[in-house]
């Protein structure tokens, strides 16, 4: 199912309020509210924050391995006082062949009030949300989207780019900012979500990579999205450089010369210093040091990679409050 088709089919009445399935239908005002709630909840005392979802039940349903996203959502839920249960395809009825529908209905019958879903199939969160009637948070579906990652990436940029932290979040917040996203664009749900969200806040998104990993139709992700095959030229224009993992598990059928890729697209300190010495370096993880990025950059002063992880916890706290505090979400954004 294509993104545009998903967006076209995403009718509000079909999904529970508080669901986050895509950034495509998320108004900029809602983005601002989520980030405001993140700020407010981070300033709360832990005891006060733990009352927000005290006793509420949240299920994490993960059909793919994950460290950052799963742990981040789980810790966020517990910081709000919620009870969580983790269901993975390796240790549940899923392994025996149970369908997504039946697993979702079982979790609902057991009292789950919200489901966080990661799934290898694009569109799975839409199906789960429609079948269960519960708020569903998309924690990454196939090669489609990773909306919470895009929101935490945005928050990281606002926190780290000079002069951004005090700006109101609106359609001009990122005016004058060029974000270069480099690597396996074809398979990256992170790239898709960022390419759809950031231009709506004024950013220019420059996609960079070889044709095998970056097809021309990526331009269809929206206005404000461009393609530059030459990484050095792209870097010279960048205020933010977002490196992506080469997803070896998804490369079947593609001819990719890794040595050539490293030569042309790897971010090392020499290249960064020569082309974009002030640029913010980001990576959604998992990170393959020595392939798309070298450790000297990942651990260097330009790196915001650990900030991304930290902001992920905060943003997901706000998303959970939004999902389960219908009518109360405003109370934590005020």
Q: Per-residue pLDDT tens for 160-171?
A: 999 998 889 999
18-36 average pLDDT score: 95
Average confidence score pLDDT of the chain:
91
The three-state DSSP-derived secondary structure of 141-190 is ECCCECHHHHHHHHHHHHHHCCCCCCCCCCCCCCCCCEEEEECCCCCCHH
The pTM for the full model equals 0.93
Grade residue 328 by pLDDT with cuts at 50, 70 and 90. low
> For residue 27, what are the CA distances in angstroms to 6, 33, 85, 170, 204?
16, 10, 31, 10, 19
Grade residue 1 by pLDDT with cuts at 50, 70 and 90. very low
> How far is C-alpha 283 from the chain's CA centre?
11
Grade residue 93 by pLDDT with cuts at 50, 70 and 90. confident
What pLDDT shows up at residue 331?
Answer: 59
What pLDDT shows up at residue 2?
Answer: 46
What pLDDT shows up at residue 89?
Answer: 80
Select the more confidently predicted residue: 199 or 254. 199
Q: What is the pLDDT of residues 171-186, one digit of tens each?
A: 999 999 999 999 999 9
96-121 average pLDDT score: 94
What pLDDT shows up at residue 113?
Answer: 98
What pLDDT shows up at residue 12?
Answer: 57
200-225 average pLDDT score: 94
């Amino acid at each position: 199912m294509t993104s545009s088709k998903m967006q076209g089919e995403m009718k509000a009445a079909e999904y529970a309020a508080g669901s986050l399935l895509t950034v495509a239908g998320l108004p900029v005002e809602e983005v601002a509210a989520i980030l405001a709630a993140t700020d407010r909840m981070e300033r709360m005392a832990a005891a006060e924050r733990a009352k927000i979802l005290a006793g509420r039940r949240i299920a994490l349903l993960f059909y793919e391995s994950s460290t950052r996203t799963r742990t981040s959502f789980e810790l966020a839920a517990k910081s709000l006082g919620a009870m969580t249960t983790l269901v993975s395809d390796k240790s549940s009825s899923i392994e025996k062949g149970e369908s997504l529908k039946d697993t979702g209905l079982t979790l609902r019958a057991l009292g789950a009030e919200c489901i966080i879903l990661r799934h290898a199939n694009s569109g799975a969160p839409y199906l789960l949300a429609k079948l269960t009637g519960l708020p569903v948070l998309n924690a990454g579906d196939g090669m489609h989207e990773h909306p919470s990652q895009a929101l935490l990436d945005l928050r990281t940029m606002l926190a780290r780019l000079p002069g951004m932290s005090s700006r109101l979040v609106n359609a001009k917040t990122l005016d004058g900012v060029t974000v270069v996203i480099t690597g396996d664009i074809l398979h990256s749900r992170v790239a898709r979500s960022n390419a759809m969200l950031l231009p709506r806040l004024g950013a220019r998104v420059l996609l960079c990579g070889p044709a095998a990993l970056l097809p021309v139709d990526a331009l269809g992700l929206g206005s404000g999205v461009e393609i530059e095959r030459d990484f050095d030229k792209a870097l010279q224009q960048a205020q933010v450089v977002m490196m992506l993992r080469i997803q070896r598990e998804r490369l079947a059928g593609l001819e990719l010369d890794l040595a050539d890729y490293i030569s042309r697209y790897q971010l090392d300190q020499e290249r960064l210093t020569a082309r974009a010495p002030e640029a913010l370096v980001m990576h959604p993880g998992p990170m393959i040091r020595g392939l798309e990025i070298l450790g000297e950059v990942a651990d260097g002063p330009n790196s915001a990679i650990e900030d991304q992880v930290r902001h992920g916890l905060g943003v997901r706290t706000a998303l959970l409050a939004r999902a389960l505090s219908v009518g109360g979400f405003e109370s934590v954004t005020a």
